[in-house]
Amino acid sequence: HHVHPCPACGIIYRADEHHPPILPLRAQLPMQLSGSWVSTHCEVRPAVLFLTRYFIFHGNNHTWEGYYYHYSDPLCKQPTFTIYASGHYTQGIPSSKVRGGTELAFKVTQARVTPMDQVTVTMLNSSEPGSCGLTSSWRARVEQDITPTNGCLALGIKLPHTEYELFKTEQDTEEHSLLYIGERPTDGSSPDSPAKRPTSYQAPLIQCAGAPEELSSYLSLKYVGKKDANGNEALKPLPVAFLLFIALLFLR
């Protein structure tokens, strides 16, 4: 009764346990990953993890970039660490198990980590030598490449790494493009085999309007003044609130 007319509301109202509601099928949108997608709110993961996500997909060469902003609180106000990952993905095929879903395989070949609080810095500096970046070199808000050490054991990151994914695109009532990515296993692991491919979805990401390449360049290159452990220019992650603010500006 909140939206008029509401055909689905009437169908559900007239249904009963002997005559369940049969809702009209929605047209399936083609899977077009190109562009930038961002979380709409703070998300939760197993093991009391909270994060927001920002993805950039380059459809012309099937490469992708992802920013994972982790926090210690459910409001995503207290940052703990940020992960930047990149790699490539396969051509999608229709899912045989989930109607409307598309199956893809994502390979992670590079990753960088930025600890955002002293607790994370201490944990990373206490990790086994050679298992997570340069030994005892971590500093708060300084990014470090963990590709040479094949990931970061302390954070559960292994490189190279393949994840078997389930994707779906839809539009909301205001015709904003939404991207659904497969839900993570409840034990905190990753879908690293076809048998662990998701059959349900996480909260949707919303597509950032405007030119995807310009937006991605702005977000990933406008980081200055920070050096990594090797003395090179290091990326400093923008606050997630600013990312969402930029996304909302484009949408408006």
pLDDT of residue 210: 55
144 to each of 56, 141, 169, how far by Cα in Å? 21, 10, 33
C-beta neighbour count of 85 within 10 angstroms: 22
Strand, helix or coil for residue 157? strand
Over the stretch 157-172, which tens digit does the pLDDT of each residue have?
999 999 999 999 988 8
Amino acid at 230: N
Over the stretch 183-241, which tens digit does the pLDDT of each residue have?
988 887 889 999 999 999 999 999 997 544 434 443 443 333 344 445 544 444 445 45
Q: Say if CB 144 and CB 154 are below 8 A apart.
A: no
Over the stretch 113-147, which tens digit does the pLDDT of each residue have?
999 999 999 999 999 999 999 999 999 999 999 99
Over the stretch 72-115, which tens digit does the pLDDT of each residue have?
999 999 999 999 999 999 988 999 999 889 999 999 999 999 99
pLDDT of residue 204: 94
Amino acid at 236: K
pLDDT of residue 184: 87
pLDDT of residue 249: 53
**Residue 120 dihedral angles phi and psi, to the nearest 5°:** -65, -40
Residue 23 DSSP symbol: P
pLDDT of residue 233: 44
pLDDT of residue 185: 84
Residue 159's closest CA among 149, 168, 169?
149
Structure tokens at 71: 């926090």
Over the stretch 27-79, which tens digit does the pLDDT of each residue have?
676 777 889 999 999 999 877 789 999 999 998 899 999 999 999 999 999 99
pLDDT of residue 3: 57
pLDDT of residue 49: 86
